[in-house]
Amino acid sequence: MATSNSPYTEPNSDGAHDKDFKTDEHSKDQSLEHYRSDAKDHDLRTNQGVRIADNHNSLRAGERGPTIMEDFILREKINHFDHERIPERIVHARGAAAHGYFEAYDNAAQYSKAALFSEGGKKTPVFTRFSTVQGARGSNDTVRDVRGFAVKFYTEEGNWDLVGNDMPVFFMQDATKFPDFVHAVKPEPHNEIPQGQSAHDTFWDFVSLFPESAHMVLWVMSDRAFPRHFRNMEGFGVHSFRLIDKQGTSRFVKFHWKPLAGTCSLIWDEAQKLWGRDPDFNRRGMWEDIENGNFLEYELGIQVIEEADEHSFDFDILDATKLIPEEQVPVIPIGKMVLNRNPDNYFAETEQVAYSVGHVVPGIDFSNDPLLQGRLFSYLDTQMLRLSGPNFHEIPINRPVCPFHNNQRDAPHRQTINKGQASYEPNSIDDGWPKQTPADEEHGGYESYYERVEGHKIRARSDSFSDHYSQARLFWNSQTDVEKEHIIAAYTFELSKVKRPYIRERQIKEILPNIDVELARRVGENHGVEAPREPTAPEGELGKSSQEASEALSLMARLPGNIKYRKIAILVADGVDGEQVETLKSKLSEQGAQGMVIAPSMAPVRSMSGGSVVPDGMLNGLPSVTMDAVIVAGGEGSAQALAKSGLGLYYVQEAYKHLKAIAAIGQGETLLDAAGVPAGEDGIFLGDAIEAVFEPFAKALGEHRVWSRDSKANEMPA
């Protein structure tokens, strides 16, 4: 920074001067602290002082061409971003992972020559990591956030990493804006608040000024932002990739992970309460399920787009803010993943695993998606810093299962002791080894797809990327009425945390009407802001869609449909019908669910027959937010004791508020009466015997929640 007496007074583009060349009282007062800097009135410049003319587009070969390596502005920006945190990940710091395997289906080989797809039934080891984006390592599992869904395949040809999210689109189209987005969503720099949340000024300031984020923000405001369990979470590769078959034919693909257990989420209020009651809720659920033999299962599917059809959609398939509706291009299952083993050591495996979109094998290649192109640089760069150098591939969790030899030597933490004198290629000293591998079917050397690329070096975006709202409208129109109400509530809550009124107004007046005027009206009404009655964006940004709605975009399209893997609280106290408790646990187990006996304390409960029932947890230790449904067991003494307990009353009130199925057997109805839970409501099942309530109770639980109660739930005192 120039000092206050500097003669240098370079004018900026407006004819004025950058603030750092001015003399003012503040600079005089801070004359000994030149490192303090206020960006107000400054031009945007590189770290070397070069003014930046375009901070929204990376340099590429033609408007739809690949990003060019000479883009020093992109490289400096992302390089600095990747090195901002030591040592945890800048994004996806909070994660949990598991080992397993991928099994290919018979049809996979027709799309790719990759060895892991070569024959039906072939199994490949995997290590899969799920993570939040915004929070640090110590943040909560159940915050409103995107979830990372990263899979490392240890194939015989090398490691392939499919690094995606639980949402199929992203906030921006070009990687050069990724640091800006993460800076905006992370805790604010002046006070490091808030942790693990998007409900603050800098996030909403950025997205309200950045229309291409509107589609992704809508996903984050939906219930997809807090999955009930990792096993109920979809995964997406986000970008368009290429698959290359044995004949050398290239096809564009979108990758999908479909959970075989169905999709479902937490309720927002429930997710918030879990922050304090069980901040490790998702990771704990996966760990315990795997330990108990209840493995997580997903199908890998692909949407296939032939080269000739690349431009046949009303959006650009290289635009990461867009998805391809499944009605237009169906998802073809090509394999199944099973996660069946927990890590032995969190740090050695889950923390040190290094994923990269650049880790591919023959038969898998990239598109010119400008967000993907930037990620190809960023992941390697950030792993180099985070894991202390270029030898992170030698850490056991990152090592390929096939041999690897090259002429790379030395650097920190080198594990391999290289024999031989030659560390270069070609050489004759070591008989020419290691040698290049021909890129043919017999030898399998990697060869990038032979794509013709031509165009001017330019910082610009294709006109096909100008549509920012058509798919946000598609997503909105695809939601059920309940899901729409939850989205309205989410925007209302998030914007209530924004301190600057003009940011709230900008989101309500300039972004939301372009998605849906009723959405804008409702959110505006909740903030005392009158929203426009028609879209406000230019026609090009509004875009057009040939499809009004897509059933696949609603979480309710793939509800579990059964009670497998579900945890049901069985409430008991002294005087409970012990035989009934055992029968309930047995019937739940027969359908793959787990009955958890919950009592006032961990002391054995005396049954009405004189025996004892051993609790699995306490009312305040395993609260209703950690359970999927509640059954109040019979026994007059038990029901009376629970009805006199504040914790007992709160337990069923909270379960009701969170739309969970509730059953009371015999005298157990006493607790519901005392708690004010209305007996005639949907999802409330009463009966003198287990047989009278179990079947309808299980059916309601298979639908995950009793959605018909959604509008009434907040009337409960809980």
The answer to whether residues 188 and 230 touch, using CB atoms and an 8 Å cutoff, is no
Question: Is residue 437 domain-resident?
Answer: no
Of the three residues 374, 398, 422, the one that is the final residue of a domain is 398
Of the three residues 512, 527, 557, the one that is the final residue of a domain is 557
CATH of the domain at 272: 2.40.180.10
All residues at 6 or more sequence positions from 275 whose CB lies less than 8 Å from its CB, including other chains:
140, 142, 143
Residues 618 and 639 placed together within one structural domain of the fold: yes
Question: Is residue 141 domain-resident?
Answer: yes
Instruction: Determine the pLDDT at residue 441.
Output: 79
Local structure of residue 27 (DSSP, 8 states): H
Instruction: Determine the pLDDT at residue 714.
Output: 59
Instruction: Determine the pLDDT at residue 25.
Output: 44
Question: Is residue 332 domain-resident?
Answer: yes
Alpha-carbon distance 164 to 357, whole Å? 9
- pLDDT tens-digit readout, 308-358: 999 999 999 999 999 999 999 999 999 999 999 999 999 889 999 999 999
Residues 653 and 536 placed together within one structural domain of the fold: no
Instruction: Determine the pLDDT at residue 675.
Output: 96
The answer to whether residues 96 and 349 touch, using CB atoms and an 8 Å cutoff, is no
Alpha-carbon distance 505 to 184, whole Å? 18
Question: Is residue 453 domain-resident?
Answer: no
Instruction: Determine the pLDDT at residue 385.
Output: 85
Question: Is residue 41 domain-resident?
Answer: no
Residues 551 and 681 placed together within one structural domain of the fold: no
User: Domain range spanning residue 282?
Assistant: 76-182+214-398
Question: Is residue 366 domain-resident?
Answer: yes
Sheet of 662-665: strand order equals 617-618, 594-599, 567-571, 629-632, 662-665, 684-687
All residues at 6 or more sequence positions from 343 whose CB lies less than 8 Å from its CB, including other chains:
97, 98, 99, 349, 350
Residues 511 and 605 placed together within one structural domain of the fold: no
Rg (CA), the chain: 28
Residues 648 and 697 placed together within one structural domain of the fold: yes
CATH of the domain at 668: 3.40.50.880
* Tokens, residue 716: 């409960």
Residues 602 and 550 placed together within one structural domain of the fold: no
Q: What does the CA dihedral 198, 204, 210, 216 come to, rounded to 10 degrees? A: 40
- pLDDT tens-digit readout, 81-102: 887 664 778 889 899 999 999 9
Instruction: Determine the pLDDT at residue 18.
Output: 52
Residues 655 and 674 placed together within one structural domain of the fold: yes
Residues 374 and 509 placed together within one structural domain of the fold: no
CATH of the domain at 500: 1.20.1370.20
Q: Report the chain (718 residues): mean pLDDT per 10 consecutive residues.
A: 36 45 43 59 74 86 90 82 73 94 97 96 97 94 97 94 98 96 96 95 98 98 97 98 96 98 96 95 97 98 97 97 98 98 93 94 95 93 87 90 85 86 88 85 86 92 96 98 97 98 98 98 98 96 93 93 96 97 97 97 95 96 97 96 97 96 96 94 95 96 94 59
Residues 594 and 486 placed together within one structural domain of the fold: no
Residues 224 and 348 placed together within one structural domain of the fold: yes
Pairing of strands 95-104, 123-132: antiparallel
Instruction: Determine the pLDDT at residue 11.
Output: 41
Residues 530 and 635 placed together within one structural domain of the fold: no
Question: Is residue 39 domain-resident?
Answer: no
Residues 638 and 489 placed together within one structural domain of the fold: no
Instruction: State in Å, rounded, how far the first CA of the chain is from the last one.
Output: 57
User: Considering its fold, how many domains does the chain have in total?
Assistant: 3
Of the three residues 381, 398, 415, the one that is the final residue of a domain is 398
Residues noted as catalytic: 92, 165
> 3-state class of 111 per DSSP?
coil
Instruction: Determine the pLDDT at residue 88.
Output: 79
Residue with the two structure tokens 């879209």: 535
Alpha-carbon distance 493 to 486, whole Å? 10
Question: Is residue 600 domain-resident?
Answer: yes
